[in-house]
Amino acid sequence: MTPAERHWLIIAGMAAITYALRAAPLILPWRPIDVRIEQRLRYLPPALFAALIVPSLLAPAGTVQGGVRLWAGLLGLAVGWRTRSIPVTILAGLGSFALLRWLVP
């Protein structure tokens, strides 16, 4: 299998899974979902976001990595905390990355 074929197979699988999750309750005979599961799923988004943030910021390649990338990331987090705007936060992070790269060769 070529890498391109592999990418498209994964994308097709993601599409099938996502559609099945959206369509199942609307197409299959409906019954209320287990209350316990529903309750636990409430805490999934914050857990998932944190699980995505911390490793990719501190250890993008599996080992702790400091330097310009980390400082730019932390500056971006501070701006995100203040502004709560995704575009502004990204601009701050990428802008400080470029600036620090230029200052610290």
Partner 1 sequence: MAHRTTSTEFWDGFLQSLPLWMGVAPFGAVYALAARAAGLNAPETIGMSVLVYAGSAQFAAAALFAGGAGALAILLTTFIMNARHILMSASLAPPLRRYPALSRAGAAFVVVDESYAMSVSRVLGGSGPTFLVGAGVSLYLAWLAGTAAGVAITLGLARPGSVGLDLVFPLSFFVLLLPYLEAPPERIAAVVAGGLGLASRLFLPGPWYLLIAAIGGMLAGDASASRGPKVTRKRGAAAE
List residues binding partner 1 (CB under 8 A): 4, 6-15, 17-19, 21-27, 30, 32-33, 38-60, 62-64, 69, 72-73, 76-77, 80-81, 84-87, 89-90, 93-94, 97-98, 101
Which sign, positive or negative, has the C-alpha torsion 76, 79, 81, 84? negative
- For the record, the structure tokens of 8 come out as 């498209």
Distance in Å, CB of 105 to partner 1, minimum: 14
With H, G, I as helix, E, B as strand and everything else as coil, classify residue 63: coil
Distance in Å, CB of 51 to partner 1, minimum: 3
Longest alpha-carbon distance in the chain: 62
Distance in Å, CB of 52 to partner 1, minimum: 5
Distance in Å, CB of 103 to partner 1, minimum: 14
Cα–Cα nearest to 95, from 84, 81, 78: 78
Task: Return the half-sphere exposure (C-beta side, CA atoms, 13 A cut-off) of residue 59.
Answer: 6
